[in-house]
Amino acid sequence: EPEVTQTPSHQVTQMGQEVILRCVPISNHLYFYWYRQILGQKVEFLVSFYNNEISEKSEIFDDQFSVERPDGSNFTLKIRSTKLEDSAMYFCASSRPPGSNQPQHFGDGTRLSIL
Amino acid sequence: KQEVTQIPAALSVPEGENLVLNCSFTDSAIYNLQWFRQDPGKGLTSLLLIQSSQREQTSGRLNASLDKSSGRSTLYIAASQPGDSATYLCAWETSGSRLTFGEGTQLTVNP
């Protein structure tokens, strides 16, 4: 069965550095998402992306964050000038059109640790 | 703002027991409801999706129901097994894009 794949599985970065988290969505999906889960807390929506532009973003997704689909397969989340509180699991998801009967499929996540 | 609450936060049962996990929400303007399973350190595995026009969905030993009028969904697990031990999350798709998650129910099924 097709899967969403995320790399790396674990990223350790010094505070203030930039990180790029990578995702390969399911090939016939056109809607892409990033979520994060701080340890012990709820999974939180960050951003959704369709047709090469952001379709919705949460209040968490400020100027520190950006997303990009640099080619036909990858979907990336860039975090600039990382802070300690950015430490979390970051999940990528993809789906067919939202509002239909198609679920969002999630990757295994990237654990980001900011030192 | 949509709020999602899951009860109980944790549940421990002996193998073979039938059990019910509860999820409630505050905004009835939903598109879909999804139930997920999360194993420690892993991603989210989609279990069932119920559209807003549906009342329930079944997959194997799992049955999920939706009652929009009361703002509730339940996940019923029949004949539980130790392999069912995981955290179960419900999530509402409200704006046609974002999923709003509950905090989850941590289930332990003891052999």
- The string of pLDDT tens digits covering residues B12-66 is 999 999 999 999 988 767 778 899 999 988 889 999 999 888 899 999 999 999 9
Say whether residue B58 is in contact with chain A using an 8 A CB cutoff: no
pLDDT of amino acid B95: 67
Say what the pLDDT of residue A46 is. Answer: 97
Locate the chain A residue with the closest alpha carbon to B45: A106
- Tokens 């955290």, residue? B87
> Which residues of A touch chain B, with CB atoms under 8 Å apart?
4, 6, 31, 33, 35, 41-45, 48, 55-56, 58, 91, 93, 98-99, 101-109, 111
pLDDT cut 90: percent of chain B above it: 68
Q: Give me the pLDDT at residue A100, please.
A: 64
* CA–CA separation, B92 and B66 (whole Å): 11
- Name chain B contacts of A109, Cβ cutoff 8 Å: 42-43
Amino acid at B80: S
Task: Give the number of beta-carbon pairs within 8 Å between A and B.
Answer: 63
Most confident of A2-6, A70-74, B8-12, B90-94: B8-12
Please report which confidence band the pLDDT of residue A17 belongs to, taking 50, 70 and 90 as the band edges: very high
* All residues at 6 or more sequence positions from B55 whose CB lies less than 8 Å from its CB, including other chains: B65, B66, B67
- In this prediction, residue A18 has a pLDDT band, given cuts at 50, 70 and 90, of very high
Intra-chain end-to-end CA distance of chain A, in Å = 37
Q: What are phi and psi of B57, to 5 degrees?
A: -140, 145
The answer to whether A41 and A97 are in contact (CB under 8 A) is no
Report chain A residues whose CB lies below 8 A from the CB of B100. Answer: 45
Considering only CB atoms, B97 lies closest to which of A6, A42, A98, namely A98
Average pLDDT, chain B: 91
Percent residues over pLDDT 70 in chain B: 95
Q: Which residues of B touch A45 (CB under 8 A)?
A: 98-100
Task: Please say if the pLDDT value at position B96 is more than 70.
Answer: no
- A75 to chain B, minimum CA–CA distance in Å? 17
Q: Which of A92, A84, A93 is nearest to A112 (CA)?
A: A84
Our CA-based measurement puts residue A107 at a distance from the nearest CA of chain B, in whole angstroms, of: 6
- Short-list A86, A49, A79, A85, CA closest to A64: A79
pLDDT at A98 over 70: no
Tokens at A105, concatenated: 């499929």
The answer to whether A94 and A103 have CB atoms below 8 angstroms apart is no
User: Is residue A53 classed exposed, middle or buried when 0-12, 13-18 and 19+ CB atoms within 10 A define those classes?
Assistant: exposed
Residue B11: pLDDT band (50, 70, 90) is very high
Is the Cβ pair B43, A104 closer than 8 Å? no
Please answer yes or no on whether B97 and A109 come within 8 Å at the CB atom.
no
Mean pLDDT of all residues in A43-64: 93
Tokens at A38, concatenated: 């701080």
Distance CA A49, CA A66 (A): 11
